[in-house]
A and B are shown apart, each in its own frame.
Chain A
Amino acid sequence: MLEILIKSAVLIGGIMTAAAYFVLLERRMAAWVQDRIGPSRVGAPLSLLGLKDLRLWGLGQPAADGLKMIMKEEYTPSHVDRRLYVVAPIVILAAAIATYAVIPFGSLLPPMEIGGEKVGPIQLTVAPGVDVGIIYVFALSSIAVYGVILGGWASNNKYSFLGGLRSSAQLIAYELPLGLGILGVVLASGSLNLERIMAAQAAQGWYAILQPLGFVVFVVAAFAEAARLPFDLPECEQELIGGYHTEYAGMKLLLFLVAEFLHMITASFLIVILFLGGWHFPLITGEADATIISWPVALARLLVLHGKIFLVIVFFMWVRWSWPRFRFDQLMNLAWKIMLPLGIVNFVAVAVLEEIRHSYGPDESTWAWSLGIIAASWVVFAAAWLLTSVANPLVTDNRPRRDLAPLEVDSPL
């Protein structure tokens, strides 16, 4: 029990702090991409003690941001549905945090002695060994959309409402490719348990290499699920002011914003765990199936996992400034006409290749077989990608038909 409480505390404290500093990183990255300096001033306010302020490259910024949000007036507009308005941010944040119960934030800690008692080996998951890990993550991340819809609905504001509607449509659309992307991983690893999936990748190879098509589908869908650019339609400033959180201010707004960041961090965790080998890195992270590992290996695994997650988050932020936002019809086309078929192709291809390996392959995997499987999956990837590109379903002509007589068409223009 104590162990779980400590792990929860470490995890929640860790991701909350991380979220705060990722906000700073996001702002600095935004500045750098735009040839600016970015927030670089808030450090230690030693001038309160009569000394010179320390700037510390702006590392005090998250504290200042948080303080600002807390000190702000907690304004509740008169036209909102009060109960749902208050519940919405709590729902979204609770769902976002609860997801981390089954997500491993490391591998193992070797046995150790604490106060004369022998403890361990400790699994670095709050609730280790959950066999339906992925399904649990899915279920909870779907609940997050409730927070968004509740917020948009309770605000009683057309922009919020539109934001909520967009969000629900978008999340439902992208759950499918997300699920199909995972299906291949589950099929290959033979488990829904996230720790076992990481271990399987250590043995078989990273699924990003083995199932490139599934990887791409999953990454795109994860961006959409996290509502990050170029998929941030639920809260696009240019169209909807603030989307579903237009009417929120102060602490409640802070909860929404933190939850959004947690979604991104969750997505990064899943990308790393499911496709980028989790804690695995060739040569330095030890035996995949070992139940007891040494301290250096444990540390190496921890560092590798979090290093990968950090890089994926940086990629998220980098992408943000590289693409403009999709139009809603493009968003839907991408989901239903590209990502869903590609996901199905990936699923079928993985199933066939796994079957071939099981039925015809040697018991001990050989280099030739592994390379053959990888080559086959890349061929499938290239062929499927080429086919979708030529079919070109992303381009829609939504201009009014001009060949119709003017009487017949009541043009939306």
Chain B
Amino acid sequence: MKADDPNIKWIEEPKLGLAGKMYLPLVAQGLTTTWKHLSKSLRGETVTVSYPDEEPKIGNPLIYRGVHRLNKDEAGRVKCVACFLCATACPAHCIDIIADESPWSDREKYPQSFTIDELRCIYCGMCEEACPVDAIELTSLYNLTGRSREEMIFDKEKLLSVYDATKEQEPMQSPALGGTAT
């Protein structure tokens, strides 16, 4: 690339005033900024917390991206219709669905098996965005641990049980938590 390439956009640096050229005001500015943070931290107002002793604060659990859950409808059946849109949207390819005809008369298709590899997942929340029936959601459970890789591959039952465990604290689309349900 030559210097006179028309694709290069040359940007002039902003000119410094005398105070800037003196450099000392800028020195003082830099030191003041770091000092503010330093003194704030010394007062104990750090962003990080001392984790196992202290639980992190989760602002809005509805927009927190933790472990997935599969929601149930009023009849207690899995809401998912096995449309594969979450698997399509998933950038990590961690969702594996086997679809089948549903055993219920009012529904066509349902997931015979629905597994998420929680180790492969990057918790981006695209599956939740993609879902047309609000069946998959990310909860605010962040402390996910396991003793083996197999244990971290969540099947349909486990994902439904996550719903049972969290439905009280995080109702689907609850307006109290910033959701859109009426």
Contact = CB atoms under 8 A, between A and B. Distances in A.
Interface of A: 29, 31-37, 40, 318-319, 321-323, 385-386, 389-390, 392, 394-395, 399-402, 406, 409, 411, 413
A33 B46 contact: no
B50 A40 contact: yes
A411 B2 contact: yes
A33 B34 contact: yes
B59 interface: no
A399 B42 contact: no
Given A35-B48, A36-B48, A318-B35, A411 B3 contact: yes
Given A35-B41, A318-B35, A322-B34, 13 more contacts: A32-B42, A32-B46, A35-B47, A36-B46, A36-B47, A319-B31, A389-B18, A389-B21, A390-B21, A401-B3, A402-B4, A406-B3, A413-B2
A252 B50 CA distance: 33
A318 B34 contact: yes
Interface in B11-65: 13, 16, 18, 21-24, 27, 30-31, 33-35, 37-38, 40-42, 45-50
B34 A321 contact: yes
Contacts of B4: 402, 406
Given A319-B31, A390-B18, A33 B37 contact: yes
Interface in B129-150: none
A232 B2 CA distance: 32
Contacts of B2: 406, 409, 411, 413
B119 to A, nearest CB: 27
What 7 pairs between A and B have smallest CB-CB spacing?
Answer: A32-B41, A400-B3, A322-B30, A389-B21, A411-B3, A35-B47, A322-B34
Nearest to B32: A322
Find the residue from B31, B38, B49 having the highest chain A CB count within 10 A. B38
A413 B3 CA distance: 7
Given A402-B3, A413-B3, A32 B38 contact: yes
A386 B37 contact: no
Contacts of A399: 3, 10
Contacts of B30: 322-323
A34 B3 contact: no
B22 A389 contact: yes
Given A35-B48, A399-B10, A401-B3, A389 B37 contact: no
Given A36-B48, A322-B31, A31 B3 contact: no
B40 A35 contact: yes
Interface of B: 1-4, 8, 10, 13, 16, 18, 21-24, 27, 30-31, 33-35, 37-38, 40-42, 45-50
Main secondary structure of the interface of A (DSSP, over half): loop
A287 B33 CA distance: 41
Find the residue from B16, B22, B23, B34 having the highest chain A CB count within 10 A. B34
A31 B34 CA distance: 11
A323 to B, nearest CB: 6
B3 A29 contact: no
A34 B31 contact: no
A37 B50 CA distance: 8
Nearest to A386: B22
Given A389-B18, A399-B10, A400-B3, A31 B33 contact: no
Contacts of B38: 29, 32-33, 318
26 contacts: A29-B38, A32-B37, A32-B38, A33-B38, A35-B40, A35-B41, A35-B46, A36-B47, A40-B50, A318-B34, A319-B31, A322-B27, A322-B31, A322-B33, A323-B30, A385-B24, A386-B22, A389-B18, A392-B21, A399-B10, A402-B3, A406-B2, A406-B3, A409-B3, A413-B2, A413-B3
Contacts of A319: 31
A323 B18 CA distance: 20
Contacts of A392: 16, 21
